[in-house]
Structure 1
Amino acid sequence: MAMLANTGAGSRSTSPRTIVALVVGVAVLLALMVTAFALPAARSAPHHVPVGVVAADGSAQASAQVQKLSGSLEGFEVTRYGSVADARSAIEHREVYGAVVVSRDAVTSLVATAASPTVAAMIPTIGDRLAAATGESARVVDVRSFPDRDPKGAGLAAGALPLALGGWIAAMVIMLLVHSPGLRLAAAAGVAVVGGVVLIATLRFVIGTIDDGFWLPTLVAALGIAATAMMVLGLRELLGGAGLGVAAILLIFLGNPLSGLASAPEMLPTPWGLIGQLLPPGATGSLLRDVAFFDGHGALRPLTVLVCWLVAGLALYGAGVWRNRRRHEVDEDEVRIGHRPGVDEVTSPA
């Protein structure tokens, strides 16, 4: 009865100002969520997208067309290559997204759908316009494509949110069910490994986004989940509830919409594409793309980003555990002797 009375008193003491603050806060939160998720897509356009151009046969006409094309592609960073082989090598090494090859009788668009279906769809329109202006034929060659079961790479594009939420949810469940700091680390490692296996198995055997290799992409996914989970655990251990808010902003509000997995980082407004690649969802997606489709070319930067996040999360977690060591010692003692705080006190006789 006393508890009910106290609860009722607490309810009656809620002021209109508190209710107004709650309503306004939720409204602002919804507005920020819509902005974070929708604005990058609404403002999607080429921003310094690297592409190549080639005068294949060295003719004066082809060279003149390439020169003209190089100065007319707004939103693209154009690099001239001396041969088709050089352009293909640049695509395979993740230096450019594609290339337009001009010869005496044809305009060929070299694309890599696996690098970005969005950019791969844009490059042939450039080739088509040039072919129409010169009266030449136009054709498209896909240097790196997704498997036939998932030709647009939908599984990879949809992976940013599961990566962000997977690490977040895993960290929350670990904090709820596991009380020992050491066991929390072991649980996070286990979740990362098992989650990586399940994620890549789903992409390969269910969706069909990946058709070659399993264990190396699994290591990438496990690293991404581990980096995400450890950052959440570290921020929560060191900063408490405020740490969860910081993690939500970094991983969900920013990391998911700015990952660039649905298009390309260069399709997002500057500097948001770069920022997205410095967050775990974007770095994990880029590393997985590089490893699964481009033989690891371009993997150094996203790998470095994920390792830094993992190390930072471990450092924050270690600092938090050290600061809260007395509380952890009490918690472990209570778990060891079967004491249930807040329950034994109520049920024990006066």
Structure 2
Amino acid sequence: MTRTTDGSPEAPPPAGGGGPQGFAAEVRDAVSLRAALLLFGVLALQIAFITSYIGAFHKPEPHEIPLAVVTPSAPLTEETVTRLAALPGDPLDPRATADEAVARERIENREIDGALVVAPRGTTDRLLIASASGASLSQALTEVVAAAERAQGRSLDVVDVVPGSPGDARGLSSFYLVVGWCVGGYLCAAILAISAGARPANGHRALIRLGALLLYSIAAGLLGAVIAGPVLDALPGGVPALWGLGALVVFTVGALTLACQGLAGIVGIGLAILLVVVLGNPSAGGAYPYPLLPPFWRAIGPALPPGAGTFAARSISYFRGNGAGGPMLVLAAWAVAGSLITVVCALRRTTGTAGTTGTTGR
């Protein structure tokens, strides 16, 4: 036994050891290899989040904004279209249109984002815009066309043919409503995984989870539509149409999350966040509609649930549902695929564990 300088016995070392080997053992015991790998996954997800959001938003530039051109004569129309198409950076995608009535109809159908109506006499032309499609988009379109007009010694009057609601600042309410629905969808699926195992034990349990998700989606869709509409007066679209869209968005994201969990276990929650939050939200066309986003985000946005939901919500709220069909099909495709993958993974898990006991999923 060792003694201290005053002759008293030295106290024994603390349990677990205080040396390097003891500390390393405690670290290994406190942070398992699985936990360390999950932490690296979280770090990668965080870096992807930062990269995606800053990459999408740090330098918005207009690119091929669909624009109708209406002039008094065919030769002038061709000249104007050619001139606008040759602008540096290709900010516009001009196309000849028969008359102003047709141009307005195409704007209301969400086929184009604006129209330049050249005056037959005088030097003041009119630009028709739809600020309900996004204030940043209509602002960018106005700036580009105004600069092109000034270069020709002409001026511009701006007419907003589809204005946003006074309670919908910069047209962002549709985007945030869809983001809220998406959050509810993957949190509902994540809670089911945390409370009863990431992978359902069998096909019946998978169907029960999908049924619970459907009920949640119906309630969440209704509450979101009521809050955005009658309660806050942010979106003018009718509650039933927004309710249906909301239920579809929530169920789609939840089914996608359940499918990811069926494929990858608890890591599937991270995969769902990668698709919906990291990639989906900045490419959704919310703060900056598609023509203002960089190529990568502009390409993936319409194919992901947040982008499809945002476009459909704006169409329902301001454009009488015009243009919402394609995005609704995208959401439905994700919902069906997610549901099928969830059930198939559960059935394969049941087959693979036949004859064994103590399944962990429920």
Bucket of the pairwise TM-score, normalised by the shorter protein: 0.7 to 0.9
Select 2:173's aligned residue among 143, 152, 155: 155
Alpha carbons of 1:277 and 1:37: their partners in 2 closer, same or farther (altered >3 Å)?
Answer: same
Aligned residue in 1 for 2:263 = 238
Return the letter of the residue paired with 1:158.
Y
Contact 1:238–1:320 (CA under 8 A) maintained in structure 2: yes
Aligned residue in 2 for 1:320 = 345
Select 1:69's aligned residue among 73, 84, 108: 84
Aligned residue in 1 for 2:213 = 188
Alpha carbons of 1:23 and 1:280: their partners in 2 closer, same or farther (altered >3 Å)?
Answer: closer
Contact 2:56–2:282 (CA under 8 A) maintained in structure 1: yes
Please give the alpha-carbon distance, in whole angstroms, between the structure 2 residues aligned to 1:96 and 1:12: 60
Return the letter of the residue paired with 2:239.
F
Displacement after TM superposition at 1:213 (Å):
1.0
The answer to whether residue 28 in structure 2 is matched with residue 13 in structure 1 is yes
Aligned residue in 2 for 1:339 = none
Answer with 1 or 2: which has the greater Rg. Answer: 2
Cα shift readout 1:243-267 (whole Å, capped 9, x = no counterpart): 2232121111111111112121121
Contact 2:125–2:155 (CA under 8 A) maintained in structure 1: yes
Cα shift readout 1:29-79 (whole Å, capped 9, x = no counterpart): 433221112110013212222112211x33977775555334336222111
> What's the % identity of the aligned pairs?
26
Displacement after TM superposition at 1:288 (Å):
1.4
When the two chains are superposed, the root-mean-square deviation of aligned CA atoms in Å is 3.5
Return the letter of the residue paired with 1:238.
L
Please give the alpha-carbon distance, in whole angstroms, between the structure 1 residues aligned to 2:84 and 2:263: 54
> 3-state SS of the aligned residue for 1:321?
helix
Aligned residue in 2 for 1:281 = 306
Greater mean deviation of Cα atoms: 41-50 or 84-93 = 41-50
Aligned residue in 1 for 2:11 = none
Cα shift readout 1:70-91 (whole Å, capped 9, x = no counterpart): 4336222111112111111111
Aligned residue in 2 for 1:175 = 193
Displacement after TM superposition at 1:234 (Å):
1.7
Please give the alpha-carbon distance, in whole angstroms, between the structure 2 residues aligned to 1:75 and 1:175: 46
Gaps of 5+ in 1: 336-350
Alpha carbons of 1:134 and 1:43: their partners in 2 closer, same or farther (altered >3 Å)?
Answer: closer
Question: For this pair of structures, how many residues does the alignment match?
Answer: 330
Please give the alpha-carbon distance, in whole angstroms, between the structure 2 residues aligned to 1:37 and 1:135: 39
Contact 2:167–2:234 (CA under 8 A) maintained in structure 1: yes
Aligned residue in 2 for 1:84 = 100
Please give the alpha-carbon distance, in whole angstroms, between the structure 1 residues aligned to 2:276 and 2:115: 34
Return the letter of the residue paired with 2:257.
V
Contact 1:164–1:255 (CA under 8 A) maintained in structure 2: no
Greater mean deviation of Cα atoms: 157-166 or 8-17 = 8-17
Please give the alpha-carbon distance, in whole angstroms, between the structure 2 residues aligned to 1:170 and 1:20: 26
Using structure 2 for the length normalisation, give the TM-score. 0.79
Contact 1:233–1:313 (CA under 8 A) maintained in structure 2: yes
Aligned residue in 2 for 1:304 = 329
Contact 2:257–2:269 (CA under 8 A) maintained in structure 1: yes
Please give the alpha-carbon distance, in whole angstroms, between the structure 1 residues aligned to 2:232 and 2:358: 44
Aligned residue in 2 for 1:51 = 67
